[in-house]
């Protein structure tokens, strides 16, 4: 995999060294077991895989290169480049303006743009409609396009499904930028519908089997399907693709359920004519992060810290997995760790910030799981770890502990 030119302030002197050490040990990522960093009275268990993925590194490289190469031109980001406030705030501080927010709401008028402006497409991609709008203004949407290649892979698979006369079932969050982009690209060539989870898919299955009336489809999916969608006709042949940051296990469960529905309706011998196997659209980084998180669940720990943007889908699913076993705190970074008694963190299901007292147990040694999402700089994990260490009397020096870890193997 190619190396990217990432700004120095995102590079880590602690966590980054641990990751490099593990990569040298296990270049093919066959060992997903976590790393134990022992600092005496506190021990950190680090996931085997976390932090900037290929698509995020690509987006960061293109954005900062545009700033470096065009100091005299106005530069805009269509929306948040990635779902991490630290990165987006840094870009804003360097003069980049955002055209719209993460939900597609305008932050400025399109008429303010000029044909000589640079507009960067974020890693999630964008809709065909937005790309056409930029072209109409004389701006090439492909010149500074940071769309993740794995997102584009989903678009290509959706196009293939359309050519094979399948309806595309998109597993994703309808308001998410990536899902909106995938829906737009898919709708060009086939009917499409967005399902949020397995529960909604079961409802869709009952509609396909005729156990629920066709009108139920429009009650559930009327705002999340292509115009003129006909449940009687458009649900005879389906294939599943996903928003690449969803839970991989749930995407597979959705595909398995729809395959079973088609087998029940048309018979196992004919099911291949009505269901397309599309498991190849799952993102490698999402899979790696979730596999590494599954290994964390085999450990014993006192709490888990998950670092990343609160609107980051892949980070939220890591937190969701860890919450099943550990007291888990989803934080943007070290600033949310107010003091040894108080933690500000994000309750993802409730979509609101919480303030928790007594988050740091008094027992020693203390074991803490530490991981992050695919859009989180490793430097943030350094800062979180050092912040916690500052509250634990007698903790070893972090740099020396990393030295010992690397030298001991």
Q: Which of 228, 253, 281 is the last residue of a domain?
A: 281
Residue 141 domain flag: no
Q: Are residues 331 and 274 in the same domain?
A: no
- Residue 286: pLDDT above 90? no
Residues 59, 6: Cα–Cα separation, whole Å? 10
Kindly name the residue from 177, 178, 263, 399 that is annotated as catalytic. 178
Residues 215, 231: Cα–Cα separation, whole Å? 9
- What mean pLDDT is predicted for residues 280-303? 89
Q: Are residues 240 and 181 in the same domain?
A: yes
Residue 284 neighbours by CB distance under 10 Å: 14
Q: Are residues 347 and 379 in the same domain?
A: yes
- Residue 87: pLDDT above 70? yes
Contact in structure between 120 and 143 (CB atoms under 8 Å): no
Contact in structure between 299 and 369 (CB atoms under 8 Å): yes
Q: Which of 281, 315, 336 is the last residue of a domain?
A: 281
Residue 191 domain flag: yes
- Residue 280: pLDDT above 80? no
Tell me the pLDDT band of 29, cut-offs 50, 70 and 90: confident
pTM of this structure:
0.88
- Residue 279: pLDDT above 80? no
Q: Are residues 262 and 305 in the same domain?
A: no
- E-strand ranges in 146-260 read 167-171, 192-195, 238-242
Q: Are residues 262 and 289 in the same domain?
A: no
Q: Are residues 43 and 66 in the same domain?
A: no
Residue 220 domain flag: yes
315 has which bridge partners? none
What CATH code is carried by the domain that includes residue 305? 3.40.1010.20
Q: Are residues 244 and 177 in the same domain?
A: yes
> At 317, which helix (H) or strand (E)?
helix 313-323
Residue 90 domain flag: yes
For every residue of 60-117, DSSP letters joined together read HHHHHHHHHH-TTS-EEESS-SSS-HHHHHHHHHTT-EESB-TTS-BSS-GGG--TT-
Q: Are residues 123 and 16 in the same domain?
A: no
- What mean pLDDT is predicted for residues 198-221? 96
Where residue 107 falls (left for φ over 0; alpha for ψ -120 to 50; beta otherwise) is alpha
Residue 164 neighbours by CB distance under 10 Å: 11
What CATH code is carried by the domain that includes residue 115? 3.40.50.11270
Can 178 be counted among the known catalytic residues?
yes
Tell me the percentage of the chain whose pLDDT exceeds 90: 80
> At 286, which helix (H) or strand (E)?
helix 284-296
Q: Are residues 241 and 166 in the same domain?
A: yes
3-state secondary structure 33-57: CCEEEECCCEEEEECCCCCCCHHHH
Residue 266 domain flag: yes
Give the closest residue to 88 by CA, choosing from 386, 332, 334, 315. Answer: 332
Residue 144 domain flag: no
Contact in structure between 75 and 81 (CB atoms under 8 Å): no
- The upper half-sphere exposure of residue 357, i.e. CA atoms within 13 Å in the direction of its Cβ, equals 0
**Residues for the chain: how many in total?**
409
pLDDT at 83: 80
Q: Which of 238, 258, 281 is the last residue of a domain?
A: 281
**pLDDT tens digit string along 48-77?**
999 988 888 999 999 999 999 999 999 999
- 31-37, Cβ contacts within 8 angstroms, sequence gap of 24 or more: 32/288, 32/291, 32/292, 32/294, 32/295, 33/295, 34/292, 34/295, 34/296, 34/299, 34/369, 35/405, 37/398, 37/401, 37/402, 37/405
- What mean pLDDT is predicted for residues 249-270? 94
Residue 142 domain flag: no
- Residue 382: pLDDT above 70? yes
How many whole angstroms from its chain centre is CA 71?
A: 31
- Residue 203: pLDDT above 90? yes
pLDDT at 1: 59
Q: Are residues 104 and 196 in the same domain?
A: no
Domain range holding 20? 8-53+285-407
**pLDDT tens digit string along 103-131?**
778 899 999 999 999 999 998 999 999 99
pLDDT at 403: 93
Q: Are residues 243 and 321 in the same domain?
A: no
pLDDT at 390: 95
Q: Are residues 228 and 241 in the same domain?
A: yes
Tell me the pLDDT band of 152, cut-offs 50, 70 and 90: very high
Contact in structure between 264 and 209 (CB atoms under 8 Å): yes
Cα–Cα distance list, 25 to 29, 48, 54, 299, 357 (Å): 9, 11, 20, 21, 40
Residue 290 domain flag: yes
191 has which bridge partners? none
**pLDDT tens digit string along 304-356?**
999 999 988 889 999 999 999 999 999 999 999 999 999 999 998 888 999 99
Tell me the pLDDT band of 287, cut-offs 50, 70 and 90: confident
Q: Can you give the C-alpha Rg of the chain in angstroms?
A: 23
Contact in structure between 61 and 6 (CB atoms under 8 Å): yes
User: Where is pLDDT greater, at 16 or 287?
Assistant: 16
pLDDT at 409: 59
For the chain, what is the domain count? 3
Average model confidence (pLDDT) across the chain: 93
């Amino acid at each position: 995999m190619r190396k990217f030119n990432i700004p120095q302030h995102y590079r880590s002197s602690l966590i980054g060294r641990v990751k490099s050490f593990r990569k040298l040990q296990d270049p093919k990522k066959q060992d997903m077991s976590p790393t134990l960093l022992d600092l005496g009275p506190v021990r950190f268990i680090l996931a085997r895989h976390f932090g900037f993925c290929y698509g995020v590194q690509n987006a960061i490289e293109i954005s900062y290169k545009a700033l470096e190469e065009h100091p005299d031109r106005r530069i805009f980001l269509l929306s948040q480049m990635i779902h991490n406030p630290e990165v987006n705030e840094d870009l804003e501080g360097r003069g980049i303006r955002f055209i719209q927010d993460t939900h597609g709401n305008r932050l400025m008028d399109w008429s303010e743009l000029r044909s000589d402006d640079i507009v960067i497409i974020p890693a999630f991609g964008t809709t065909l409609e937005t790309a056409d709008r930029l072209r109409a203004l004389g701006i090439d949407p492909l010149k500074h396009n940071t769309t993740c290649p794995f997102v584009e892979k989903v678009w290509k698979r959706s196009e293939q499904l359309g050519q094979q006369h399948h309806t595309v079932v998109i597993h994703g969050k309808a308001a998410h930028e990536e899902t909106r982009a995938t829906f737009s690209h898919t709708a060009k060539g086939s009917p499409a519908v967005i399902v949020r989870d397995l529960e909604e898919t079961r409802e869709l299955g009952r509609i396909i089997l005729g156990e629920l009336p066709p009108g139920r489809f429009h009650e559930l999916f009327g705002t999340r399907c292509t115009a003129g969608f006909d449940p009687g006709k458009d649900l005879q042949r389906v294939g599943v693709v996903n928003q690449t940051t969803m839970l991989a296990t749930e995407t597979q469960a959705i595909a398995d359920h729809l395959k079973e529905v088609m087998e029940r309706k048309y018979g196992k011998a004919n099911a291949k004519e009505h269901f397309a196997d599309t498991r190849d659209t799952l993102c490698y980084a999402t899979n790696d992060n979730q596999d590494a998180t599954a290994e964390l669940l085999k450990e014993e720990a006192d709490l888990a810290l998950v670092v990343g943007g609160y609107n980051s889908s892949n980070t939220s699913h890591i937190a969701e997995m860890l919450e099943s076993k550990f007291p888990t705190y989803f934080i943007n970074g070290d600033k949310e760790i107010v003091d040894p008694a108080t933690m500000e963190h994000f309750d993802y299901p409730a979509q609101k910030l919480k303030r928790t007292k007594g988050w740091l147990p008094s027992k020693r040694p203390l074991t803490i799981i530490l991981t992050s999402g695919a859009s989180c700089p490793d430097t943030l994990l350094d800062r979180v770890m050092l912040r916690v260490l500052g509250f634990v009397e007698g903790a070893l020096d972090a740099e020396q502990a990393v030295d010992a870890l690397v030298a001991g193997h």
